[in-house]
């Protein structure tokens, strides 16, 4: 068993910075877990504590059931892959991959066998006698992975392993990593700040912010049911639109028009200290050109008309930015929350991003009727960012 358990793990640096605060996380044996979040959220520090490269200030870390807080990195039986490949330039691919096994004083035959097995998995067999200088970036990164897998460690820890590669190679390497992890079935913790990588690679995604875990779940669950404004804005590209919504006469007054309030939300809004204004969140892909939806679909949503600012044609669909009129949110921190999440806050007259079918005949400068799927909206309490839907 090589499960990894973080039990209220914190990291406070000597200068007082709390990089990681009370993180609870249970990673199952064989699971592929992604740590994702904006720069400085504590994901690398978390990984480094699992690796033993950083001390744990408080809490307990267990690997395979055993407490490892005070164990040296080399005694944890895990392998790390970093962003920089750190290959030995004077050694061949074969020698680079054999290096950790030679350190472990394995016999020659076993080393040869293990290196060749790993090379096969990573399609490096033809390159075994080359030096790193004569390899492409993607091939070098595969050698770095090869060096990690030859040891058959209990777990792999990867810190932004693909971020030095160009966009196309990154996509290719994503499938390499994914296939490799499935084939080996080794517990893997993978750090990235790229939400697309997080969504496509892992069994589960851990979203961090300010040293704390915001939400843990399978990618689809985070997309469908973000727990708060931050997660909602972080997952999805382009980001979810956030609009100010005032609660009035059993309806929500928004820049898109009046939105009816469902029974469950109505109950949330009962009581003296219930919020009188909410943040309405709707993803770009949950809009459509109103002329392209059938009657059945139309009933599940609402329509509004707005002037088209910018049209970006993506081939398969179009990103269309509309100007919408709206009241500014009363609380400044709402904007901050959304901005933190990298999201647009459509408070007053700001852009609304929609993703419409390629067939939509929208034109910049003209007005267009747009349909919005009400079954997909999210409502957030602005005081704490909690998703009420």
Q: How far apart are CA 47 and CA 222, in angstroms?
A: 21
Give the number of other CB atoms < 10 A from CB of residue 49: 25
Q: How far apart are CA 345 and CA 338, in angstroms?
A: 6
Q: How far apart are CA 143 and CA 148, in angstroms?
A: 9
Rule CB under 6 A: say whether 209 interacts with ligand ATP.
no
Compute the residue count for the chain: 389
Token reading at 354: 């929609």
Q: Which of 17, 16, 73, 82 shows the shortest CA–CA distance to 50?
A: 73
Q: Which of 7, 29, 40, 178 binds ligand ATP (CB under 6 A)?
A: 40
Q: Which stretch binds ligand ATP (CB under 6 A): 34-42, 149-157, 177-185, 380-388?
A: 34-42
Q: Which of 4, 9, 44, 341 binds ligand ATP (CB under 6 A)?
A: 44
Rule CB under 6 A: say whether 295 interacts with ligand ATP.
no
Q: Which of 4, 10, 34, 45 binds ligand ATP (CB under 6 A)?
A: 45
**Residues with Cβ < 8 Å from 248, sequence gap 6 or more?**
none
Give the C-alpha distances (Å, rounded to integers) separating 284 from 194, 238, 367, 376, 378: 19, 7, 18, 11, 13
Rule CB under 6 A: say whether 84 interacts with ligand ATP.
no
Angle at the Cα of 305 from the Cα atoms of 299 and 310, rounded to 5 degrees: 120
Q: How far apart are CA 215 and CA 226, in angstroms?
A: 8
Stated as kind and residue range, the H or E segment containing 114 is: helix 108-121
Quick one: 41 or 370, whose CB is closer to ligand ATP? 41
Rule CB under 6 A: say whether 161 interacts with ligand ATP.
no
Are 280 and 377 contacting, i.e. CB atoms less than 8 angstroms apart? Answer: yes
Quick one: 54 or 117, whose CB is closer to ligand ATP? 54
Q: Which stretch binds ligand ATP (CB under 6 A): 41-49, 74-82, 287-295, 350-358?
A: 41-49
Q: Which of 6, 10, 33, 42 binds ligand ATP (CB under 6 A)?
A: 42
Rule CB under 6 A: say whether 25 interacts with ligand ATP.
no
Minimum distance from CB of 61 to ligand ATP (Å)?
A: 15
Quick one: 18 or 246, whose CB is closer to ligand ATP? 18
Rule CB under 6 A: say whether 49 interacts with ligand ATP.
no
Q: Which of residues 186-205 bind ligand ATP (CB under 6 A)?
A: 193
Rule CB under 6 A: say whether 368 interacts with ligand ATP.
no
Q: How far apart are CA 177 and CA 162, in angstroms?
A: 10
Quick one: 40 or 100, whose CB is closer to ligand ATP? 40
Q: Which stretch binds ligand ATP (CB under 6 A): 21-29, 35-43, 69-77, 147-155?
A: 35-43
Binding site for ligand ATP (CB under 6 A): 13, 15, 17, 19, 37, 39-45, 193
């Amino acid at each position: 068993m090589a499960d990894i358990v973080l039990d209220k793990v914190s990291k406070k640096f000597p200068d007082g910075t709390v990089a990681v605060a009370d993180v609870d996380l249970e990673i199952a044996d064989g699971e592929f877990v992604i740590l994702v979040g904006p720069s400085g959220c504590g994901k690398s520090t978390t990984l480094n504590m699992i690796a033993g490269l950083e001390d744990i200030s408080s809490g307990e870390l267990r690997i395979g059931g055993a407490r490892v807080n005070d164990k040296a990195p080399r005694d944890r039986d895990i392998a790390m892959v970093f962003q920089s490949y750190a290959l030995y330039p004077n050694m061949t691919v074969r020698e680079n991959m054999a290096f950790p096994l030679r350190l472990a004083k394995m016999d020659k035959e076993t080393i040869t066998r293990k290196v060749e097995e790993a090379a096969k998995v990573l399609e490096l067999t033809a390159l075994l006698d080359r030096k790193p200088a004569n390899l492409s970036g993607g091939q070098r990164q595969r050698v770095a992975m090869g060096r990690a897998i030859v040891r058959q460690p209990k777990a792999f820890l990867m810190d932004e392993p693909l971020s030095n590669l160009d966009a196309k190679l990154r996509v290719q390497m994503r499938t390499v990593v994914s296939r490799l992890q499935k084939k080996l079935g080794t517990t893997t913790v993978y750090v990235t700040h790229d939400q697309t990588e997080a969504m496509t690679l892992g069994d589960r995604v851990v979203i961090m912010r300010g040293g704390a875990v915001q939400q843990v779940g399978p990618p689809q669950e985070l997309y469908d049911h973000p727990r708060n404004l931050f997660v909602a804005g972080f997952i999805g590209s382009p980001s979810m639109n956030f609009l100010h919504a005032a609660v009035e006469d059993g309806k929500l007054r928004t820049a898109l028009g009046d939105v009816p309030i469902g029974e469950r939300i109505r109950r949330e809004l009962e009581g003296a200290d219930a919020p009188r204004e909410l943040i309405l969140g709707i993803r770009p892909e949950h809009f459509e050109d109103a002329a392209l939806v059938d009657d059945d679909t139309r009933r599940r949503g609402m329509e509004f008309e707005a002037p088209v600012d910018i049209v970006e044609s993506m081939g398969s669909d179009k990103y269309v930015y509309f100007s919408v009129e709206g009241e500014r949110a009363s609380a400044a921190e709402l904007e901050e929350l959304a901005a933190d999440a990298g999201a647009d806050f459509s408070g007053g007259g700001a852009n609304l991003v929609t993703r419409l079918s390629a067939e939509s005949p929208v034109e910049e400068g003209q007005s267009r009727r747009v349909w919005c799927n009400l079954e997909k909206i999210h409502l957030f309490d602005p005081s704490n960012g909690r998703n009420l839907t």
